[in-house]
């Protein structure tokens, strides 16, 4: 399996939870919404850990670029975490407007971020890390 | 390997696309005014100077204006290529395109070859600069996505549209003729090449992103845009070689490709995971329906050899198909850019949770919803106007009502964009206050 496919599938998994969270918030179904929101943020944080703890360091090591694309990806992770906080707060306050404002902002940021990873960074990783993809994916799967 | 692609400075300043977006509604309002005060036949008769003027106000002043601005923004984000001296290039392009369009329109209206010629000179300079820049950037991109091919086809089509315009004007003593043997080709390269191919390339990316739908299949992404481009080339060849059967072949290819694009996009949207009400989603749907309707009308006209159906098809294609998608994209792109730029600025100042308005606060949903409604009324009136001609009943009222509705829709669009800009500026000034405090 390729890194592009493995990590791309995980993006999709996060996207689907995201859509469910937004939907239950828009219906004002807070008993489920808070729970799905937590699932979503957990799934995203898990994805970020796979990248920040495993994929990015290995990519940087082999390609020799430490201030390049991975640094921008980390910067966008920080921006997304800031929006997670806003969503968590809105979920705690049960504020539909605040939640959907933050979530729609996140959606666009997250999608353009994912597109850059899926169309550029992951294929570059597959190229640079050819031969050790299976081993790396095993390690990615083991990330808690 | 090109690794500069994701540098932090990749997003050009907000003013780079925004100056184009803010200019477009002004040309839109001018087109609405023309509709309001012109003869009733403006919507049903393609062969008049007023119609020619109105079409170019929309195509050059509104749609191209937005697309040139948007591509300078989207290229770094979607294709990972940075445009050097982005702000300077944007100012220059904006000046050339705006003044060039104004001069061309004045030259057409007054049949003044000198004005027309100088307008064309400015537009041609802008086109050469823009197309060179985009193609150069695409060549340097690492992306293998179908979007890249579609955008390349689109800007090459823009160049060909310009060359055909030069040809037409040169053979008519630099007085824009209402009809010319090459008018159809010029129009087809503009509408199906420059506009539609760009829309297709953008759709590959943004439709799955914003509504969380399945992706366009790789086979579609690889073949759709090239099919349309090649069909346009064949059609052009058929016109020059006077080979009717070749023309038929090309037209069949175009009809199938455009129809497939619309059907696939609607089908993907049906499977969207994100089910929240969204004006951009509405606009994309209207756009695809308009493409399908225009194909049916065009084929009807072609088979019945009645050009009035075909003219109607063209107007629905432009005002319903192209313009709707463009309007929908503006309501998605602008709020996000305002948020992104403010967020980056606040972060670089070390303030993580500043007063950055989220996308729903930058342009409140009620603005975009009302803009959408008014634009749909305007589109409806433009769509039914030519039917009057078929019924042999002409009235001034529909064109006037359409004029008022178009003016209204562009005023609302401008207000939404201006309010986004003022939110940006007030957040900027509160940042500089907190810095000096």
Distance (Å, whole) CA A47 – CA A33: 21
The pTM is what? 0.93
Distance (Å, whole) CA B436 – CA B255: 61
Collapsing DSSP to helix, strand or coil, B326 comes out as helix
Q: Residue B202's pLDDT is what?
A: 94
Other beta carbons within 10 angstroms of residue A140's beta carbon come to 21
DSSP E strands: which ranges in B273-336?
none
The stretch B237-244 carries a mean pLDDT of: 90
- pLDDT of B53 > 90? The answer is yes
Distance (Å, whole) CA B86 – CA B334: 18
Q: How many domains does one find in chain A?
A: 1
d(CA B9, nearest CA chain A) in Å: 10
* Full domain range(s) for residue A25: 3-142
Radius of gyration for chain B, computed over Cα atoms and rounded to the nearest angstrom: 21
- Please tell me if residue A101 touches chain B, with a CB cutoff of 8 Å: yes
pLDDT in tens, B247-279: 999 999 999 999 999 999 999 999 999 999 999
Q: Extract long-range pairs of A9-17: CB within 8 Å, 24+ residues apart.
A: A10/A47, A10/A50, A11/A47, A11/A114, A11/A117, A11/A118, A13/A43, A14/A40, A14/A43, A14/A44, A14/A47, A14/A110, A15/B212, A15/B273, A16/B212, A16/B273, A17/A43
Could you tell me how far CA B329 lies from the centroid of its own chain? 10
- Both structure tokens of B225: 């845009």
Closest-CA residue in chain B for A111?
B209
Distance (Å, whole) CA B412 – CA B75: 28
CB contact under 8 A, B273 and A19: yes
Q: What count of Cα atoms within 13 Å lies in the side-chain half-sphere of residue B79?
A: 26
Contact list in A for residue B336 (CB cut-off 8 A) is: 105, 108-109
> For residues B42 and B289, which has the higher predicted lDDT (pLDDT)?
B289
Contact list in A for residue B352 (CB cut-off 8 A) is: 82
Closest CA to B116 of B128, B99, B103: B103
- pLDDT of B207 > 70? The answer is yes
Binned at pLDDT 50, 70 and 90, residue B4 comes out as very low
Contact list in B for residue A18 (CB cut-off 8 A) is: 212, 274
Binned at pLDDT 50, 70 and 90, residue B354 comes out as low
Question: Which is it for the CA torsion B228, B64, B201, A126, positive or negative?
Answer: positive
For an interface test with B, the pick among A2, A120, A124, A128 (most B C-beta atoms closer than 10 Å) comes out as A120
d(CA B129, nearest CA chain A) in Å: 27
The answer to whether ipTM exceeds 0.85 is: yes
- The set of residues, in sequence order, having a beta carbon less than 8 Å from that of A1 and lying 6+ positions away, is A133, A134, A137
d(CA A136, nearest CA chain B) in Å: 22
Closest-CA residue in chain A for B274?
A19
Closest CA to B174 of B236, B129, B110, B127: B110
Question: Which domains does chain B carry?
Answer: 4-428 (1.20.210.10)
Q: Would you say B212 and B273 are in contact if contact means Cβ atoms under 8 Å apart?
A: yes
CB contact under 8 A, B276 and A109: no
pLDDT in tens, B5-39: 444 456 788 999 999 999 999 999 999 999 998 87
> For residues B4 and A72, which has the higher predicted lDDT (pLDDT)?
A72
Helices (H), B141-243: 146-170, 183-188, 196-211, 218-241
Q: Residue B3's pLDDT is what?
A: 38
Q: Compute φ and ψ for A123, nearest 5 degrees.
A: -60, -35
Could you tell me how far CA A25 lies from the centroid of its own chain? 20
d(CA B407, nearest CA chain A) in Å: 30
Q: Residue B54's pLDDT is what?
A: 94
DSSP-assigned letter for residue B82 = P
pLDDT in tens, B59-101: 999 999 999 999 998 887 777 777 888 899 999 999 999 999 9
- Please tell me if residue B348 touches chain A, with a CB cutoff of 8 Å: no
Give the N- to C-terminal CA distance of chain B in Å, as an integer. Answer: 45
Q: What is the mean pLDDT of chain B?
A: 90
> For residues B153 and B346, which has the higher predicted lDDT (pLDDT)?
B153
Q: What count of Cα atoms within 13 Å lies in the side-chain half-sphere of residue B153?
A: 29
pLDDT in tens, B313-338: 999 999 999 999 999 999 999 999 99
Q: Residue B258's pLDDT is what?
A: 97
- pLDDT of B388 > 90? The answer is no
d(CA B427, nearest CA chain A) in Å: 17
Q: What is the CATH number of the domain that holds A131?
A: 1.20.120.520
Binned at pLDDT 50, 70 and 90, residue B347 comes out as confident
- pLDDT of B397 > 60? The answer is yes
Distance (Å, whole) CA B102 – CA B65: 12
DSSP-assigned letter for residue B152 = H
Per-residue pLDDT of chain A (144 residues; tens, 9 = 90+): 899 999 999 999 999 999 999 999 999 999 999 999 999 999 999 999 999 999 999 999 998 877 778 988 998 999 999 999 999 999 999 999 999 999 999 999 999 899 889 988 999 999 999 989 999 999 999 998
Q: Residue A28's pLDDT is what?
A: 94
Place of tokens 């003219």: B311
Helices (H), chain A: 3-26, 30-49, 56-63, 69-93, 96-116, 122-128, 133-142
Question: Which is it for the CA torsion B261, B262, B264, B268, positive or negative?
Answer: positive
Radius of gyration for chain A, computed over Cα atoms and rounded to the nearest angstrom: 16
């Amino acid at each position: 399996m390729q890194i592009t496919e493995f990590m791309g599938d995980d993006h999709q998994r996060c996207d689907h939870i995201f859509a469910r969270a937004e939907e239950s918030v828009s219906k004002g179904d807070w008993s489920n919404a808070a729970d799905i929101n937590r699932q979503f943020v957990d799934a995203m944080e898990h994805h970020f850990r796979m990248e920040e703890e495993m994929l990015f360091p290995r990519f940087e090591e082999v390609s020799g670029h430490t201030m390049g694309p991975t640094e921008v990806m980390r910067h966008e992770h920080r921006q997304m975490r800031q929006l997670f906080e806003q969503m968590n707060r809105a979920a705690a306050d049960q504020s539909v407007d605040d939640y959907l404002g933050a979530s729609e902002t996140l959606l666009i940021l997250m999608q353009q971020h994912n597109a850059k990873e899926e169309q550029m960074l992951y294929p570059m990783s597959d190229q640079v890390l050819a031969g050790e993809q299976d081993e790396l994916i095993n390690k990615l799967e083991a990330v808690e | 390997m090109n690794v500069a692609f994701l540098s932090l400075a990749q997003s050009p300043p907000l003013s780079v696309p925004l100056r184009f977006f803010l200019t477009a509604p002004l040309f839109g309002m001018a087109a609405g005014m023309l509709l309001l005060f012109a003869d009733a036949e403006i919507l049903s008769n393609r062969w008049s100077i007023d119609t020619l003027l109105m079409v170019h106000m929309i195509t050059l002043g509104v749609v191209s204006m937005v697309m040139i601005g948007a591509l300078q923004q989207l290229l770094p984000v979607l294709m990972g290529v940075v445009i050097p001296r982005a702000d300077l290039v944007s100012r220059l392009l904006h000046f050339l395109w705006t003044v060039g369009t104004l001069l061309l329109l004045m030259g057409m209206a007054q049949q003044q070859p000198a004005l027309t010629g100088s307008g064309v000179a400015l537009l041609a300079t802008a086109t050469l600069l823009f197309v060179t820049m985009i193609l150069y950037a695409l060549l340097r991109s690492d992306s293998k996505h179908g979007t890249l091919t579609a955008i390349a086809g689109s800007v090459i089509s823009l160049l060909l549209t310009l060359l055909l315009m030069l040809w037409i004007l040169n053979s008519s003593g630099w007085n824009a003729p209402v009809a010319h043997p090459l008018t159809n080709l010029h129009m087809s390269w503009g509408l199906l090449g420059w506009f539609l191919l760009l829309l297709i390339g953008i759709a590959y990316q943004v439709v799955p992103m914003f509504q969380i739908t399945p992706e366009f299949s790789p086979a579609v992404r690889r073949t759709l845009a090239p099919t349309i481009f090649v069909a346009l080339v064949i059609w052009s060849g058929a016109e020059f070689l006077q080979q009717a059967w070749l023309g038929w072949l090309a037209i069949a290819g175009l009809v199938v490709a455009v129809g497939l694009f619309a059907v696939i996009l609607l089908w993907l949207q049906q499977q969207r995971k994100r089910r929240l009400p969204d004006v951009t989603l509405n606009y994309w749907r209207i756009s695809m329906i308009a493409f399908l309707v225009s194909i049916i009308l065009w084929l009807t006209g072609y088979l019945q050899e009645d050009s009035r159906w075909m003219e109607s098809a063209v107007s629905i294609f432009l005002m319903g198909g192209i313009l709707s998608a463009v309007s929908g994209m503006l309501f998605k792109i602008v709020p996000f850019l305002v948020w992104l730029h403010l967020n980056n600025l606040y972060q670089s100042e070390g303030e993580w949770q500043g007063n950055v308005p989220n996308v729903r606060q930058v342009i409140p949903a009620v603005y975009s919803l009302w803009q959408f409604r008014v634009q749909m009324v305007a589109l409806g009136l433009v769509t039914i106007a030519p039917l009057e001609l078929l019924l042999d009943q002409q009235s001034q009222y529909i064109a006037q009502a359409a004029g008022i509705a178009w003016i209204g829709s562009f005023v609302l669009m401008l207000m939404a964009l201006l309010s986004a800009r003022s939110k940006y500026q007030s957040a900027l000034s509160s940042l500089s206050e907190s810095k000096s405090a």
